[in-house]
């Protein structure tokens, strides 16, 4: 078993700007990354000095990236969704996919479908090969209860590809049937949303990350707890886990060490642990054991982290954030 106790940093790679998103080619050490320089790159992190080859470029921040076969699909602040041939480093197609900021792009486990979400509060499912729109996922309100624009931050596929989950700024979560686009279940995580009615008349927080357990029965939700000072990321980290089919919250992990947002969650392939990555001024990695209902490890990381992915064996993590791509190993 790969234990977080043996966590070791083995690669520390400087990159320009912020890396907002990372996707891994299954069965390999290759990753696609993108971020604030508007570009999409591919690299093999197993190389002694990984080279990041540019495979495409947007005209604004790139905040979602997914791998489907040898193709990479990326989504940006301008609402465009683009397909790239990673080998040829050429664009296959570009779509006006959303009317607002695309927050995330995720490939189905079999690589046949692409899901995107944006601040137009709509999720869309696309055929990965043709780019054809398959479904629209409409179940999130465009405005918060205080009549301000909401945001749709997080999306995740179940490991069997049968379900999708989406989560928004006010803590509303919807589980969808991926084949039909119909709602299956709704869940609520209201503690992750803070409204300041006095000082700023402003809200902060939201569901920032989602991950299904390997057996598909549980859904982990990441964000931040209640915020005291709305001008700063002063809320403690927060992770909740649901038996989503029963609609029951089974675990709560209110942060006791770090402040900031849990931007990404990932399960060990056999469910041995759950890892969360995020940050405020600095970054962190948080490891949880759901069976024992306890925190396994809390690791300070510099810089602020935006994403984390585990390899197929669960003994390596690929992590990215502000100015960095990091690789960790967990080999007992």
105-133 pLDDT, tens digit per residue, is: 999 999 999 999 999 999 999 999 999 99
CATH of the domain at 188: 2.130.10.10
pLDDT band at 41 (very low <50, low <70, confident <90, very high): very high
Position 196 scores a pLDDT of: 74
Count of C-beta atoms within a 10 Å radius of residue 256: 9
What confidence tier does 281 reach under pLDDT thresholds 50, 70, 90? confident
Q: Which domain does 318 fall in, by range? A: 4-29+99-330
Whether 46 maps to a domain, the answer reads no
What's the total number of domains in the chain?
1
Percentage of residues of the chain with pLDDT beyond 90: 90
Q: Beta strands 53-57 and 39-44: pairing type?
A: antiparallel
For 119-217, list the strands marked E by DSSP: 123-127, 133-137, 152-157, 163-168, 172-177, 183-188, 193-196, 202-205, 209-212
Mean pLDDT score across all residues of the chain: 95
The per-residue pLDDT for range 166-215, each reduced to its tens digit, is 999 999 999 999 999 999 999 999 999 988 776 655 668 899 999 999 99
Assigned token pair, 243: 């038996």
Q: Tokens for 143? A: 């405005």
For the stretch 290-329, pLDDT in tens is 999 999 999 999 999 999 999 999 999 999 999 999 999 9
pLDDT at position 19 is 98
pLDDT of residue 234: 74
Confidence of residue 39 (pLDDT cuts 50, 70, 90): very high
Give 142-157 pLDDT, tens digit per residue: 999 988 899 999 999 9
The residue assigned the tokens 């397909």 is 83
d(C-alpha 213, C-alpha 289), whole Å: 12
Q: Does 76 reside within a domain?
A: no
Burial of 16 (C-beta count, 10 Å sphere; 0-12/13-18/19+): exposed
Q: Is the per-residue pLDDT at 253 higher than 70?
A: yes
For the segment 229-233, the average pLDDT, to the nearest whole number, is 61
In a domain, 122, yes or no: yes
Residue 331: pLDDT band with limits 50, 70, 90: confident
Tell me, yes or no, whether 307 lies in a domain: yes
State the pLDDT at residue 294: 97
Q: Residue 202: what pLDDT?
A: 63
Task: Look at residue 294 and tell me if it is in a domain.
Answer: yes
Q: Tell me the per-residue pLDDT of 82-97, one tens digit each, with 9 for 90 and over.
A: 999 999 999 999 999 9
pLDDT value at residue 199:
61
- Residues with Cβ within 8 Å of residue 104, at least 6 apart in sequence: 21, 63, 64, 75, 116, 117, 153, 154, 155
Query: What are residue 257's phi and psi, to 5 degrees?
Result: -130, -45
């Amino acid at each position: 078993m790969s234990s977080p106790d043996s966590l070791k940093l083995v690669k520390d790679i400087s990159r320009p700007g912020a890396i907002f998103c990372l996707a891994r080619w299954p069965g390999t050490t290759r990753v696609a990354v993108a971020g604030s320089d508007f570009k999409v790159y591919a690299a093999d992190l197993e190389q002694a000095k990984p080279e990041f080859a540019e495979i495409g470029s947007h005209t604004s921040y790139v905040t979602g990236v997914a791998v489907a076969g040898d193709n990479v699909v990326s989504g940006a602040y301008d609402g465009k969704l683009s397909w790239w041939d990673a080998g040829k480093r050429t664009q296959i197609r570009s779509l006006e996919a959303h009317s607002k900021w695309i927050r995330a792009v995720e490939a189905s486990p079999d690589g046949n479908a692409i899901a995107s979400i944006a601040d137009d509060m709509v999720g869309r499912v696309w055929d990965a090969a043709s780019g054809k729109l398959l479904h629209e996922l409409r179940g999130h309100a465009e405005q918060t209860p205080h009549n301000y624009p909401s945001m749709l931050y997080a999306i995740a596929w179940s490991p069997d590809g049968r379900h999708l989950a989406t989560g928004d700024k006010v803590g509303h979560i919807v589980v969808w049937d991926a084949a039909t686009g119909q709602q299956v279940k709704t869940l609520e995580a209201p503690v992750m949303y803070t409204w300041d009615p006095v000082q700023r008349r402003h809200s902060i927080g939201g569901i920032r990350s989602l991950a299904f357990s390997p057996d598909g029965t549980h859904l982990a939700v990441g964000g931040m707890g209640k915020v005291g000072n709305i001008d700063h990321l002063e809320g403690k980290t927060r992770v909740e886990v649901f038996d989503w089919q029963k609609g029951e919250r089974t675990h709560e992990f209110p942060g006791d060490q770090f402040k900031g947002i849990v931007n990404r969650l990932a399960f060990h392939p056999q469910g041995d642990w759950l890892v969360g990555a995020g940050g405020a001024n600095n970054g962190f990695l948080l490891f949880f054991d759901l069976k024992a209902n306890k925190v396994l490890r809390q690791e300070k990381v510099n810089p602020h982290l935006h994403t984390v992915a585990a390899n197929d064996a669960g003994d390596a993590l690929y992590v990215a954030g502000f100015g960095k791509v990091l690789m960790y190993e967990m080999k007992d």
